[in-house]
């Protein structure tokens, strides 16, 4: 990923609509071939990738916070070690994704500044508080479960660096999902109080997770273009439905109740029907007015400021090494 980040094209070359470059790009998309950083691409394609990949990177990094808060309170050494590894994985995902975004000619510093200034989006789901240990189970089971459902199709995305980053990320997310389910299983097989904790966590996370797939297809402004370009392969609503259909039997196995009185198997459709989704709540969270939105950004800004000395030391070390290598040459 590091080499990809350094492989920045010299900026998009403007071409007239209907030019040979545009025809070649369209033909490659039609043949389902990968577009690479040095290839000509329409400016709108480049911009939408920067938007989506950077939002995705921000989500991974902000997503470390709700679980990071629980590392010191994990109930055993084993759970603590697993949770630490998971949170570190999410940081790694952010790194791969910022690097993939950089191949499109943007700088990570600028992307992070936009996040900290409240100008860039990150996933709505990370604006919610993790109130009990059971939330670590619910986040792994449901949030990582939803993330995999959305991200497996991205492994086939038309932009090479993004698709390749997603392959490794999905392998790790799959482990994350199973560790979350394992926490839920342990709680559900425990005392009645522990099972109640698991139910409370499901009650808190269910609807925000259902919203996480994005607005309904009819309101999804980007889907038309991103699907035509082979970035998005499956629509927001279809992924949401796949997630619900896969998760309901898992909740049944745990002996938990999904907090939706309208949830019902529809034999005709071959899918579960669900009750109405509160899209006002979703847009509030997306717009920076979720329960923990301000706290999340403030924590990220503080981490950036407190980590400045590490970045400065790493740069000074790299400069010294480069000077030594020049002297030796």
What is the contact surface with ligand FAQ in residues (CB under 6 A)? Answer: 51-52, 55-56, 59-60, 63, 90, 121, 123-124, 139, 143-144, 147, 150, 212, 214-215, 220-223, 226, 232, 236, 286
CB nearer to ligand FAQ: give 8 or 155.
Answer: 155
325: CB partners within 8 A, 6+ apart: none
Contact in structure between 248 and 168 (CB atoms under 8 Å): no
Grouping H, G, I as helix, E, B as strand and the rest as coil, residue 88 is helix
CB of 311 to ligand FAQ, least distance (A): 23
CB of 60 to ligand FAQ, least distance (A): 5
CB of 62 to ligand FAQ, least distance (A): 8
Q: Give the CA diameter of the chain.
A: 75
CB of 174 to ligand FAQ, least distance (A): 12
CB of 118 to ligand FAQ, least distance (A): 12
Phi and psi dihedrals of 272, rounded to 5? -80, 140
CB of 10 to ligand FAQ, least distance (A): 26
Residue 314 has which token pair? 């790493």
Grouping H, G, I as helix, E, B as strand and the rest as coil, residue 171 is helix
How many CB atoms neighbour CB 175 within 10 A? 15
Comparing CA positions, the residue from 13, 11, 132, 123 lying closest to residue 64 is 123
CB nearer to ligand FAQ: give 139 or 254.
Answer: 139
CB nearer to ligand FAQ: give 115 or 143.
Answer: 143
What is the total residue count of the chain?
329
Residue number with the smallest Cβ distance to ligand FAQ: 63
CB nearer to ligand FAQ: give 225 or 301.
Answer: 225
The upper half-sphere exposure of residue 105, i.e. CA atoms within 13 Å in the direction of its Cβ, equals 16
CB nearer to ligand FAQ: give 34 or 51.
Answer: 51
CB nearer to ligand FAQ: give 135 or 144.
Answer: 144
CA distance to 57, 101, 235, 283, per residue, from 121 (Å): 10, 15, 19, 11
């Amino acid at each position: 990923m590091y080499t990809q980040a350094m492989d920045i094209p010299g900026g998009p070359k403007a071409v007239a609509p209907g030019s040979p470059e545009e025809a070649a790009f369209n033909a490659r998309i039609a043949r389902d071939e990968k577009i690479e950083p040095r290839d000509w691409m329409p400016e709108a394609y480049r911009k939408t990738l920067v938007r989506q990949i950077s939002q995705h990177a921000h989500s991974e990094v902000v997503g470390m916070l709700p679980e990071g808060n629980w590392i010191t309170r994990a109930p055993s050494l084993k759970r603590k070690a697993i949770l630490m590894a998971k949170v570190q994985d999410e940081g790694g995902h952010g790194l791969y994704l910022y690097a993939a975004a950089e191949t499109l000619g943007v700088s990570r510093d600028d992307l992070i500044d936009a996040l900290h200034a409240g100008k860039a989006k990150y996933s709505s789901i990370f604006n919610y508080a993790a109130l009990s240990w059971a939330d670590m189970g619910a986040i792994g089971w449901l949030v990582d479960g939803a993330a995999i459902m959305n991200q497996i199709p991205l492994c086939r995305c038309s932009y090479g660096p993004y698709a390749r980053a997603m392959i490794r990320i999905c392998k790790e997310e799959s482990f994350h999902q199973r560790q979350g389910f394992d926490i839920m299983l342990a709680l559900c097989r425990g005392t009645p109080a522990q099972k109640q904790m698991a139910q409370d966590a499901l009650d808190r996370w269910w609807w925000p997770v259902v919203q996480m797939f994005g607005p309904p297809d009819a309101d999804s402004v980007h889907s038309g273009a991103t699907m035509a370009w082979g970035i998005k392969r499956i629509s927001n609503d279809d992924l949401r439905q796949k997630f619900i259909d896969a998760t309901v039997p898992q909740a049944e196995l745990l002996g938990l109740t999904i907090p939706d009185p309208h949830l019902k198997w529809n034999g005709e459709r071959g899918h579960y029907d669900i009750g109405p989704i509160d899209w006002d709540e979703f847009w509030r969270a997306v717009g920076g007015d979720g329960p923990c939105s301000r706290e999340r950004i403030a924590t990220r800004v503080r981490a950036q400021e407190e980590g400045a000395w590490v970045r400065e030391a790493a740069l000074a070390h790299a400069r010294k090494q480069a000077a030594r290598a020049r002297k030796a040459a």
